[in-house]
């Protein structure tokens, strides 16, 4: 026997509601008419007080019966209304299930007929994981690009083709963090590649200048190479913009975009500063945005602001989404430089700033690190950012250099 549909049950319930409401209204109207008639007759014919009292008693009894009927009809109405709500909810659930089945069938047909969409979610997750493995968020200075092999770079180019197609064909409203991560990491790849190509070009120019004038190796097409470098910058800009477009809450994308912009426009870039500020608003408890904002303030000569921003950065444990000892050391090392400048700027607080700089440097220069040693040698030189501190505590500089060497 076929089952009654929820829609049909709903129609029957609505009819029942109308019948109950109409019956209640008719009952009320009948009782009121009877009560008014009795009152009218008694008011005309009553000759003494007793008759009037009897008429009042009849009216009170009628009113009590009316109240009882109204209570009964109200209970019945509530019962019917509850049944109607239940059946309506069942109808909506059935309709939702039908729509979900239709969507699933559409997805299966789409994947069957168009290979581009097959296992789209799995492939996006796999691509995001691979990109994050190649270019971890703990890297700040494009170090990841130097670690990429030829096969890795070919794989990244293949990823790019899929990612660009997805940008125009897919709605990322349900997977915006995944899509944003893919676009952001592709932007990091092109940003790192651009910087690498620019450094290679400058190295070739410097080497060519040492060659004899008639040597053909001096003929470098600088204009063409610069166009290629600009193309890489444009690609990085495109992918960072796309990352923010699909997920405006991705604070790491704002940091990465700011780093590229600062590299293109210089340390005092207002556009880069705004990107770092946007990242800080989205995630105040991170180190990276404060670290880069401190560098901007330092380049402006605002050493106190730079020192305060660095101290604020170190009050949080995560570089972005997880702790990084190397990045925290970078923050401390920069803060030591800022404190050295403050000691020179405020002689009456020289002891305070010298102690603070030494504390930071001792935490950073604790073991062998030849890369840090090169940086330290330059900053401790007479024109370096640690020159004042080096002049005040040369024995500390010597000790720390020995630790970095050994």
For residue 59, the tally of other CB atoms under 10 A from its CB is 16
Task: For residue 382, name the pLDDT band (cuts at 50, 70, 90).
Answer: very high
Residue position matching structure tokens 């995560």: 318
pLDDT in tens, 258-282: 999 999 999 899 999 999 999 999 9
Name, of 52-61, 69-78, 92-101, the range with top average pLDDT: 92-101
Q: Is the pLDDT of residue 74 over 60?
A: yes
Q: Where are the domains of the chain?
A: 6-116, 119-267, 284-406
How many C-alpha atoms does 313 have within 13 Å on its Cβ side? 29
Closest CA to 353 of 317, 391, 382: 391
Q: Is the pLDDT of residue 8 over 90?
A: no
pLDDT in tens, 163-194: 766 665 555 555 788 888 888 888 888 898 89
Helix 176-208 and helix 150-169: axis angle, to 10°? 130
pTM, two decimals, is: 0.68
| Under 8 Å between Cβ of 119 and 111 | yes
Distance between CA 115 and CA 307 in Å, rounded? 55
Distance between CA 259 and CA 274 in Å, rounded? 11
Residue position matching structure tokens 């239940």: 86
pLDDT given for residue 46 in this prediction: 47
| Under 8 Å between Cβ of 372 and 361 | no
Task: For residue 3, name the pLDDT band (cuts at 50, 70, 90).
Answer: very low
Helix (H) or strand (E) holding 118: none
Helix (H) or strand (E) holding 100: helix 49-113
Give the distance, in angstroms, between the CA of residue 188 and the centroid of all CA atoms in the same chain: 17
CATH among 1.25.40, 1.10.3470, 1.10.10, 1.10.287 for 284-406: 1.25.40
Q: Is the pLDDT of residue 374 over 90?
A: yes
């Amino acid at each position: 026997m076929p089952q009654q549909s929820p829609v049909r049950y709903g129609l029957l319930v609505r009819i029942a509601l109308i019948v109950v409401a109409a019956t209640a209204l008719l009952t009320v109207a009948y009782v009121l008419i009877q009560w008014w008639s009795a009152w009218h007759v008694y008011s005309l014919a009553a000759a003494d007080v007793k008759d009037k009292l009897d008429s009042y008693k009849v009216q009170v009894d009628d009113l009590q019966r009316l109240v009882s009927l109204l209570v009964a009809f109200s209970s019945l109405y509530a019962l019917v209304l509850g049944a109607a709500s239940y059946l309506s909810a069942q109808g909506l659930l059935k309709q939702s299930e039908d729509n979900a089945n239709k969507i699933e069938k559409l997805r299966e047909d789409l994947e069957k007929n168009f290979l581009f969409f097959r296992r789209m979610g799995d492939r996006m997750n796999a691509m995001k994981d691979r990109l994050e493995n190649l270019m971890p968020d703990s890297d700040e200075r494009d170090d990841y690009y130097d670690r990429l092999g030829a096969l890795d770079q070919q794989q990244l180019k293949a990823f790019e083709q899929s990612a660009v197609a997805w940008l125009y064909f897919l709605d990322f409203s349900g997977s915006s963090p995944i899509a944003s991560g893919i676009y952001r990491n592709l932007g990091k790849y092109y940003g790192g590649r651009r910087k690498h190509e620019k450094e290679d070009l400058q190295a070739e120019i410097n080497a060519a200048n040492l060659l004899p004038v008639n040597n053909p190796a001096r003929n470098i097409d600088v204009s063409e190479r610069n166009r290629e470098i600009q193309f890489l910058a444009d690609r990085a800009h495109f992918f960072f913009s796309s990352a923010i477009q699909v997920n405006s809450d991705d604070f790491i994308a704002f940091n990465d975009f700011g780093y590229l912009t600062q590299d293109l426009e210089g340390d005092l870039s207002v556009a880069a500063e705004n990107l770092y500020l946007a990242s800080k608003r989205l995630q105040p408890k991170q180190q990276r945005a404060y670290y880069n904002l401190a560098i901007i303030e330092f380049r402006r000569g605002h050493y106190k602001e730079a020192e305060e921003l660095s101290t604020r950065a170190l009050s949080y444990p995560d570089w972005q989404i997880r702790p990084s000892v190397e990045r925290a050391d970078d923050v401390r090392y920069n803060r030591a430089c800022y404190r050295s400048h403050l000691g020179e700027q405020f002689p009456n607080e020289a002891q305070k700033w010298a102690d603070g700089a030494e504390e930071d440097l001792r935490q950073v220069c604790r073991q062998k690190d030849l890369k840090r040693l090169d940086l330290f040698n330059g900053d401790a030189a007479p024109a370096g950012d640690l020159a004042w501190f080096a002049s005040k505590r040369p024995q500390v500089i010597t000790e720390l250099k020995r630790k970095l060497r050994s």
